[in-house]
């Protein structure tokens, strides 16, 4: 087994094509989340609507995000990306976060 952190990944890449997970936003929409879903307990009194702030679901609905990751793994994904595509100051400013 490789000793470098990237060694295992490089070894797998030399053996076969690796499959990356898919779109997170599309999968989130399958759950038909409401404003309350996005808020969870953590942001109940937040003054700005959070609907469509998908990255906030990591904090408010971690079980949903984990379930989506499990679905991608069950479908054959080898690599799972974090749900943080828009988790930056520019994107979160719209939601007052």
Structure tokens at 13: 């890449």
Residue with tokens 């408010």: 60
Say how many domains are in the chain: 1
Give the Cα separation of 68 and 65 in Å (integer).
Answer: 5
Residue 50, in any domain of the structure: yes
pTM value is 0.84
Q: What is the pLDDT of residues 49-95, one digit of tens each?
A: 999 999 999 999 999 999 999 999 999 999 999 988 888 899 999 99
Residue 13, in any domain of the structure: no
Residue 9, in any domain of the structure: no
- The count of C-alpha atoms lying within 13 angstroms of the C-alpha of 49, restricted to the half-sphere facing its C-beta, is 5
Residue 56, in any domain of the structure: yes
Structure tokens at 88: 């930056």
Residue 89, in any domain of the structure: yes
Q: What is the pLDDT of residues 2-55, one digit of tens each?
A: 677 788 889 999 999 999 999 999 999 999 999 999 999 999 999 999 999 999
Residue 63, in any domain of the structure: yes
Residue 10, in any domain of the structure: no
DSSP-assigned letter for residue 47: S
Range of the domain at 50: 20-93
First to last CA, the chain: 43
Residue 52, in any domain of the structure: yes
């Amino acid at each position: 087994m490789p000793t470098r952190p990237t060694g295992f990944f490089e070894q797998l890449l030399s053996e076969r094509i690796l499959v990356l997970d898919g779109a997170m936003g599309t999968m989130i929409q399958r759950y038909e989340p409401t404003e309350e879903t996005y808020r969870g307990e953590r942001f109940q009194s937040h003054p700005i609507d959070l609907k469509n702030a998908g990255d906030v679901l990591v904090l408010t609905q971690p079980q949903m995000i984990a379930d989506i990751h499990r679905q991608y793994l069950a479908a054959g994904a080898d690599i799972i990306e974090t749900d943080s595509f828009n988790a930056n100051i520019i994107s979160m400013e719209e939601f007052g976060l």
